Structure 1
Amino acid sequence: MNVLIPIAEIGNYIVFSILIGHVALQFVPETNKPKIIISRNILLLSTLGIFVFTLGPVAQTISYFSDSVGLTLAIFSVLTDFQVGQAWIFIGFMSVFLWMTILLNGSKYLQALWLLIMVLGVGYSSHVASLSFLVGLFAHSAHFLMVTIWTGILIHVAWFSNDQQKWHKFLRWFTPFAIVCIIIILISGVTLMIYVVEPQDYVRSWVLPYGQMLLLKHISIIPVLVFAFINGVLSKKAATLPSFNPRPWIKAESLIILIVFYFTSVLGMLSPPHEVEFTVRSEGASKWVELVLGKDILTTFNIGLTANFLSILLLLISLIFLSLIVSSFKKVKPIVAVFLGCSFIFTMYFGLMLSMKI
């Protein structure tokens, strides 16, 4: 179960991105986008995938309660009393309507409506919505929608297109659109985080598994933004060169986004530490963090950040990796830039961890 749930969460992001990107691009004139060739079977399978992959959090909740109340009662209770179960049933019905609409070549407006309703269903099932309904519903829905529409368009342009002629016209509208998406993602993400981890407890939460995944997610977003800069700004300048093919660099960006999806999926499996100090005292700190720091962590009151030689060195190396991603544009294969992005995540993570003062 611990392995299947993250896979289901990643799959959920991917299939939603494929479908939302497909619908969004239908509203863009043919002259302003590359020619997209995607099989209807992929769209239908993605719709089916929504029904299957959104079952992951439901299965996790059922598994949690099945030992105490029995499997049958756990299934019934989760599907009828829990927001995550109600949302899955609702999304399941909407996915059937979307499947039929795609099969019959229905209106793009109708496809957009079903997807928007399903996104609201995802927001309804979120953890923050159980704490503050309206804030959680709209903040999580906006966050999820912006992530999937941005990623979805990138997936279609990178993996389902071989047309390079309209790249400049595509970037003319997509670059400002992506900037708006990023701004909304950051604002909604901070809003959601405040309900889970208080800002003053952010560094202290790193001693817990949830805080670890949150830190890794935030670090992994940085190379995504660097790749977005490359594909949105530098590629625009290189688009005039006949030999330049932007698709491999967009594929590289989508791979880095997949890493963010992984950390997000693992994050969804962990219990949010609303009270970091209480969680550490009752459940204990992460064994991994204690191993890295070489200390037993019994309290978080004295935890902070302090500079030392090794942490500064690692942070400087991480910045070098980040600058190499930009300087390697058009000079090396994009897969090398992906490796540099992963190296940045690795060194930045350990640089911050080793700067923790217990």
Structure 2
Amino acid sequence: MLNVLVPLTELITYILFSILIGHVALRFVSPEKKPSIYISRRFLLSCVLGIILFTFGPLLQVVAYFGGSVGVAQTLFSVLFTFEIGKAWIAIVWCSILLWLAIYLESSKYIQAILLFLMVLSIGYASHVASLSFWTGFTSHTVHFLAVTLWAGILIQVSWFSKDSTNWDRFLRWFTPFAVSCMIVILISGVIVMLFVINIKDYINAWVLPYGQMILLKHISIIPLFAFACINGILVRKMRKIPTFNPQPWVKAESVSILIVFFFTGILGTLSPPHDIDQTVRSEGVANWIVNLFGIPIKMPVNLELISSFQGIVAFIFGVLFLIMIFLSFYKKKTPVLAVFLAICFIIITYLGLMTSVALE
């Protein structure tokens, strides 16, 4: 049950933070440089309460892990007041209460921004990488989370809550370089965070573990996201010359693509990081579907190697075709739903291509 519930809470946490951060960030943008956006105060207040509820998910996992030995009540007290994840959640609760009041009373955007930033700092403080190397891990995870939620949050606001596409050209003029900057920061900070957990030489070997599988799927899912970012940041400008063209559905498609990345990230956050591949395999075993895929048991020391295979080459060709068809669906003015479907097909076929191109040494 928790294996499903906790990743779901992680996914919803990303979405709620993105909505709130995007809302506050756009308050700093002048009205003539953004589309007209309406989001109800009741919905924003619900998002704040949702953060209190859903950020408790990881704590629930820790309590369930240790609760059997000393009791749930004592474990919960210990986790809240002695574990970093518990202290961070308490900080998030206090900041959320103040943020709820700030939104309810329609207080200064600066106060709301500061409270949200403190909540983001709490997320970074509770991260696994912060426990390994505090300042480097804390900074890299905080920057990564902030850049992701800023980019995703603004996209969610303009795609799902904007009333029309007025000022779209002016919006893209500043948002495109902003989004590119966020991408660069996300990539750099993401690599730093990953290197805390997985040695770059063990990246492929980690695929035998659920953690390695999820990080692979996350990285693959980023590729179609970049395709949508290219469409909305560059190609949409040319299509804006057509009076009937509405860019909003394509920005919605990009936001859905981000949610797919969030989905894999949410699962990733609940899995044990494999600092030592062989030791993790001994203690937790390999991913069940990997054994079924290879058809033979995984032996230690784990040593996987990428090879060229007919199935893999065919899969990669289809993957490239799916990626090209995302752009073609835009040029042919097809529904963005088709583009999202093609993105999912790309993720699946590319993943299968890599899995069929791996050999056990």
Category of TM-score, reference length = shorter chain: over 0.9
In structure 2, C-alpha distance between the alignment counterparts of 1:146 and 1:101, rounded to whole Å:
23
Could you report, residue by residue, the CA deviation over 1:73-109 in whole angstroms, capped at 9, with x for unpaired residues?
A: 1101100111111100010000011010111110000
Match of 1:224 in 2: 225
Partner amino acid, structure 1, of 2:282: R
Report deviation, 1:25.
0.3
For the Cα contact (< 8 Å) 2:277–2:302, is it kept in 1?
no
Partner amino acid, structure 2, of 1:352: L
For the Cα contact (< 8 Å) 1:284–1:298, is it kept in 2?
no
Partner amino acid, structure 2, of 1:2: N
Matched position secondary structure for 1:357: strand
In structure 1, C-alpha distance between the alignment counterparts of 2:209 and 2:91, rounded to whole Å:
34
Residue 201 (structure 1) aligned with residue 202 (structure 2): yes
For the Cα contact (< 8 Å) 2:148–2:182, is it kept in 1?
yes
Pairwise mapping of residues 112-151 of structure 1 onto structure 2 (< 5 A)? 112-151=113-152
In structure 1, C-alpha distance between the alignment counterparts of 2:203 and 2:324, rounded to whole Å:
27
Report deviation, 1:330.
4.3
In structure 1, C-alpha distance between the alignment counterparts of 2:15 and 2:3, rounded to whole Å:
19
- Bigger shift: residues 224-233 or 277-286: 277-286
Residue 354 (structure 1) aligned with residue 322 (structure 2): no
In structure 2, C-alpha distance between the alignment counterparts of 1:312 and 1:300, rounded to whole Å:
28
Matched position secondary structure for 1:328: helix
For the Cα contact (< 8 Å) 1:281–1:298, is it kept in 2?
no
Give the aligned CA root-mean-square deviation in angstroms. 0.9
Matched position secondary structure for 1:22: helix
For the Cα contact (< 8 Å) 2:158–2:248, is it kept in 1?
yes
Identity of aligned residues (%): 54
Partner amino acid, structure 1, of 2:198: V
Residue 172 (structure 1) aligned with residue 173 (structure 2): yes
- Bigger shift: residues 198-207 or 232-241: 232-241
1:335 to 334, 337, 357: 337
For the Cα contact (< 8 Å) 2:36–2:166, is it kept in 1?
no
Match of 1:273 in 2: 274
Residue 55 (structure 1) aligned with residue 56 (structure 2): yes
Matched position secondary structure for 2:165: coil
Could you report, residue by residue, the CA deviation over 1:42-94 in whole angstroms, capped at 9, with x for unpaired residues?
A: 11011111111110111111111001221111101100111111100010000
Report deviation, 1:300.
4.3
- Bigger shift: residues 3-12 or 103-112: 3-12
TM-score by length of 1: 0.98
Report deviation, 1:283.
3.0
Match of 1:315 in 2: 316
Runs of 4+ in 1 over 3 A off after TM superposition: none
Report deviation, 1:241.
1.6
Matched position secondary structure for 2:35: coil
Residue 186 (structure 1) aligned with residue 187 (structure 2): yes
Match of 1:28 in 2: 29
In structure 1, C-alpha distance between the alignment counterparts of 2:350 and 2:294, rounded to whole Å:
15
Match of 1:91 in 2: 92
Report deviation, 1:164.
1.4
In structure 2, C-alpha distance between the alignment counterparts of 1:231 and 1:85, rounded to whole Å:
40
